[in-house]
Structure 1
């Protein structure tokens, strides 16, 4: 069954808002995931469609190396900056005059310790000059490449700008793959087959999720959702996200996709966390979405904020709106015996 195709630019310009206003996965969920996946401490973590590293960074303490992969250039820029706060980070413009170039990393192989990875047919804006830019011990950027590796206090973090389906890695070279709030936007069958091949025998794939603040049953959530729908219609943004995406997931669930790829049956684990939002945080969260990002709000952003405040303010208590957020992950295992 063919997956729904999503526009490649849905999250363009959202990275800073994504990093500031998306909720962190709770420690209880991450601890449970680590317990069940049982990483060796010397393996590789692959975070696909990583955003700004909402899973890569809190999980990196259990791995020797982390790959954080996202198709959106801005997301990778934030990952590099965050990783650089604990180590060394490249100035991608060094030697390149600061101009972004459309680059294709076609078969540009880069050594990454155990196993070798490469990015195939990836077009992205990269500001690098000719030759190689030295960015510190054990890492480099070659002309045309779209990845930068940086070192921090824990794992070796490699930020890669690529679509998940365009990534190539050695077989059986990854202990754990995580995908946060994104599997529905990927070509699921293709990505599931790729992930199965990249995982070590006994390795795991975790599909991680969280509920959205406008999708709940509370009165303020219903009012919030109505504001968003009204503004999507006003700005001509109702078709940015395919309407058939959720229907496809109901008729062809993620678990069935993983089963077809060869995974053992996935098991879902859920965690409920109470969260208090300010109205400003909700406005920022909206700007992190694919349906009302800054590029869509445009010069009407202040008008949107005013409308949002006017509608939601009556529901606030001490300046906050409270909800119970459901975080969850589905853990699927590649058959076989783990090497460690």
Structure 2
């Protein structure tokens, strides 16, 4: 029997509002790719695991008859409901749970998507669940994005991380109320799928241009597990951090505007 580690409710504590507004939105070219590769036609069902604030489930809703977004964070789901209501999305159900706990009782799906979340999951177990939940010709799309500044070659992102480290310490924080430390994955997602029951796999890449202001980048940082607003202790410290970041970034680019080309990798797999 597989033991599932307890969920850490502090992982994105206080981040949901920022996540919904400042995480880069997935571009239309990504959804066009998913529509083509998985032959989406407005029928069938979508399961979006680790759905967060609905950044995949909501834009893809018109490609399915029914959508389920699942996430263990209640605040994220509340933001997802708000965003869905704003665009009149009525065919999405939001479920508070972990991907590791999902059962066959939810029925079959044409497509299962996972955005910026698979690295937080017990991957082998989740892949097994997904395989069993897919219809005969169903598919899986794991979507990897590369906006993370920790390993970026952009001088302005390196500067941003140096400011974060100045305020929060050298280590990259994650979970446990800010006391946890980030551990890179030892095995890539692709290898997990290769060892699973899926018998066909392919990778696709799309690119898009993302523009930032200093304010939007501050919002992005507050949406991450390594720079949660609560890590700064109080509002006064946050103001000082923001002023420090603003001054440091303006030294790199006086306009305060930054543009980058970001890739997205889709790890696709089909049941048959």
Alignment partner of 1:194 is 2:195: no
Provide the C-alpha distance between the structure 2 equivalents of 1:188 and 1:298, rounded to a whole number of angstroms.
Answer: 33
- Name the CA distance, whole Å, in 2 between partners of 1:310 and 1:318: 12
Residue matched to 2:18: 17
Please, what TM-score do these two structures have when normalized by structure 1? 0.72
**Displacement after TM superposition at 1:259 (Å):** 2.3
Equivalent residue in structure 1 for 2:154, among 210, 214, 218: 218
From 160, 168, 174, the equivalent of 1:232 is 168
Distance 1:263 1:242, change over 3 A: farther
- Equivalent position of 1:288 in the other structure: 223
* Structure 1 residues 54-203: aligned runs within 5 Å: 54-87=55-88, 152=90, 156-170=91-105, 173-203=108-138
Kept after mapping to 2: 8 A contact 1:48/1:69: yes
User: Which segments of 5 or more consecutive residues in structure 1 lack a partner in the other structure?
Assistant: 88-150, 336-340
Alignment CA distance shift 1:171-1:282 (3 Å): closer
- Whether the 8 Å CA contact 1:19–1:52 is kept in 2: the answer is yes
Q: String of CA shifts for 1:191-238, please: whole Å, max 9, x gaps.
A: 000000001122111001211252321211221222223322189947
Query: Against the structure 1 CA distance between its residues 213 and 259, is the aligned structure 2 distance closer, same or farther, given a 3 Å change threshold?
Result: closer
Alpha carbons of structure 1 residues 164 and 331: separation in structure 2 relative to 1, 3 Å: same
User: Does 2:251 correspond to 1:332?
Assistant: no
Q: For the residues of structure 2 that align with 1:209 and 1:241, how far apart are their CA atoms?
A: 23
Deviation at 1:258, TM superposition (A): 1.4
Whole-angstrom CA distance in 1 between matches of 2:7 and 2:103: 21
**For residues 4 and 255 of structure 1, what CA distance do their matches in structure 2 show?**
23
User: What residue in structure 1 maps to residue 238 of structure 2?
Assistant: 301
Q: Quick one: structure 1 residues 328 and 24, their matched pair in 2 at CA, closer, same or farther if it must change by over 3 Å? A: same
Residue 234 (structure 2) pairs with residue 313 (structure 1)? no
1:14-43 Cα distance to aligned partner (Å, 9 max, x none): 111000000111111110111001124221
1:270 aligns with 2:200: no
2:173 and 2:182 in contact (8 A); partners too:
no
Higher relative contact order (CA 8 A, sep 6+): 2
SS for the counterpart of 2:67 is: strand
Deviation at 1:315, TM superposition (A): 1.9
CA 1:5/1:267 → structure 2, altered by over 3 Å: closer, same or farther? farther
Counterpart Cα distance in 1 of 2:195 and 2:79: 35
Question: How far has the Cα of 1:310 moved from its partner?
Answer: 1.3
CA distance in 1, matches of 2:34, 2:180: 30
1:10 deviates by: 0.7
Please say which of residues 52-61 and 160-169 is displaced more in the overlay: 160-169
Cα 1:65–1:240 shift into 2, 3 Å: farther
Give the 3 Å change call, closer, same or farther, for CA 74–185 of structure 1 in structure 2.
same
- Equivalent pair of 2:77/2:94 in contact (CA under 8 Å): yes
Bigger radius of gyration among the two: 1
Q: Secondary structure at the match of 1:277?
A: strand
Task: Give the distance between the partners of 2:19 and 2:66, measured in 1 at CA.
Answer: 24
Specify whether residues 179 and 241 from structure 1 end up closer, same or farther in structure 2 by C-alpha distance, changes over 3 A only.
Answer: farther
Partner Cα separation in structure 2 for residue 185 and residue 6 of structure 1: 10
